[in-house]
Amino acid sequence: MTSRERVLMALNHEEADRVPIYDSPWVAAIERWHNEGLPREVNPAEYFDYEWVGFGADTSPCLPIEIVGEDEEYIIRTTQYGGLRRDHKDYSSTPEIIDYPCKTREDWEEIKERLTPDRDRVDWDGAWLAGTGEDQRGDDSTLETGRCDRRLGLPGWQQAYDEGRFIFYSAGFGYDKIQSYVASEQLLMAIATEPDWVRDMYETDATMAIQMHEIMKQGGFQFDGAWIFCDLGYRNGLLFSPQHYDEQLRPTFQRLVDYFHSQGLPVILHSCGCVKELIPRFIEDGLDCLQPLEVKAGMDLPELKKNFGDKIAFMGGIDVRAMADSDPAVIEDEIRTKIPLAKQGGGYIYHSDHSIPNNVSFDQYRRVLALVRQYGGY
């Protein structure tokens, strides 16, 4: 059975030979694993036999990236969105956002003129993997360009297609994406006081995502699904009220789901935090799969499967904190008590509940995947 067949069966709530496997290790984690036995000459995605490969386009304003400061530990640079950030050089933690490009709606209108579709926004060799919303560098840098670091060694489009992998189109959207332009505090204020501006930003960005999918499809890319990402929750609940979601973001979400469904593509949503309150809306709007089911935010995989598993597929929900525990029984208990329930009737894909940080050793992670295969077989 190919990965493509396995993933599509899971999304269609059918039992394959085993649950599909995909994950999002940080670059810093992979660097650690190289020092612990992961061969540097071997593609990590192939070594771990990940089922999915994603490709996207650069939907930013494509402003120049310039280094404006650097020392032994940090690097400060502008972003292609026009912001300014400070990163650890090993990308081992989230960045410090120093400045944002849009302080007013007038700033947005100026940047908006740069958001036009173009073939040059695509890596036509398909050598870079698109961001999935999961944080492969330990920050949101994968979301800056829709691409991630070549050091991950991930396969190009043609190779992935020939290998029978599930290929997804990747695009950020909505509140999470717009935080590249507007500081979080100001954006939350704008949701309450300038809803027309917020809706315009959501819709403009979604239009770019749709237009770039069309360009990539016409250029030869063949996709099996769409993975869209927008963090909507934090540890204790939603980032803003369900009313504001319904009035401002939900129409954009529905537009994206409807568009990709019209292309014959199932839709997976990445949304960190506690988003249980929105699951009935996701189901009503036709979402096929929700990821990553962040455990520390109260997203309990068995409970979600019981309450919604006949209507939507789930991906994730395996606690990365258990992976890093020195007691091997902890992660086995985590997997043993969740995956056999989640896999029943299909509708489940393995992923960590966020991304794999560099406090998980190479041996620990290999054991995780061995346990997933052990408990995830049919």
Supply the CATH number for residue 143's domain: 3.20.20.210
Are 292 and 349 spatial neighbours (Cβ–Cβ below 8 Å)? Answer: no
Question: At residue 297, does pLDDT exceed 60?
Answer: yes
- Scored b (16 or more CB within 10 A) or e, 294-316 reads bbebbbebeebbeebbeebbbbb
Residue 6: the pLDDT is 98
Question: Per-residue DSSP letters for 75-88?
Answer: EEEE-TTS-EEEEE
Residue 141: the pLDDT is 35
Is there a domain that residue 77 lies in? no
Q: Which stretch of 43-57, 141-155, 249-263, 337-351 has the lowest confidence by average pLDDT?
A: 141-155
**Rounded to 5, what percent of the chain is helix, strand, coil?**
40, 15, 45
Query: Can you read off the two tokens belonging to residue 249?
Result: 């973001």
Instruction: Report how far residue 126's alpha carbon sits from residue 155's, in angstroms, rounded to the nearest whole number.
Output: 8
Is there a domain that residue 29 lies in? yes
Is there a domain that residue 76 lies in? no
Residue 352: the pLDDT is 98
Are 322 and 289 spatial neighbours (Cβ–Cβ below 8 Å)? Answer: no
Residue 135: the pLDDT is 45
Is there a domain that residue 327 lies in? yes
Is there a domain that residue 71 lies in? no
Instruction: Report how far residue 32's alpha carbon sits from residue 234's, in angstroms, rounded to the nearest whole number.
Output: 29
Are 108 and 181 spatial neighbours (Cβ–Cβ below 8 Å)? Answer: yes
Query: Can you read off the two tokens belonging to residue 12?
Result: 């269609």
Confidence of residue 149 (pLDDT cuts 50, 70, 90): very low
Query: Can you read off the two tokens belonging to residue 225?
Result: 């699904």
Residue 140 sits in which domain range? 3-60+104-376
CA–CA distance from 288 to each of 200, 227, 255, 335 (Å)?
26, 10, 14, 23
Give the number of other Cβ atoms within 10 Å of residue 248's Cβ. 21
Question: At residue 172, does pLDDT exceed 90?
Answer: yes
Question: At residue 54, does pLDDT exceed 80?
Answer: yes
Are 320 and 352 spatial neighbours (Cβ–Cβ below 8 Å)? Answer: yes
Half-sphere exposure of 376 (CA within 13 A, CB side): 27
Instruction: Report how far residue 289's alpha carbon sits from residue 140's, in angstroms, rounded to the nearest whole number.
Output: 22
Residue 116: the pLDDT is 97
If one counts the domains in the chain, the total is: 1
Is there a domain that residue 95 lies in? no
Rg, the chain, Cα only? 20
Question: At residue 146, does pLDDT exceed 80?
Answer: no
CA-wise closest residue to 281 among 315, 245, 241: 245
Confidence of residue 147 (pLDDT cuts 50, 70, 90): very low
Confidence of residue 88 (pLDDT cuts 50, 70, 90): confident
Question: At residue 310, does pLDDT exceed 80?
Answer: yes
Average pLDDT score over residue span 346-362: 97
Residue 126: the pLDDT is 60
Half-sphere exposure of 272 (CA within 13 A, CB side): 16
Question: Per-residue DSSP letters for 313-361?
Answer: EEE--B-HHHHT-SSHHHHHHHHHTTHHHHTTTS-EEB-BSS-B-TTS-
CA-wise closest residue to 225 among 48, 11, 14: 11
Is there a domain that residue 333 lies in? yes
Is there a domain that residue 332 lies in? yes
Q: What is the mean pLDDT of the chain?
A: 91
pLDDT tens for 70-85 read: 888 899 999 999 999 9
Question: At residue 154, does pLDDT exceed 60?
Answer: no
- % the chain with pLDDT above 90: 82
DSSP 285: T
pLDDT tens for 124-143 read: 876 444 444 444 444 433 33
Q: Give the torsion sign (CA, 133, 319, 238, 98).
A: negative
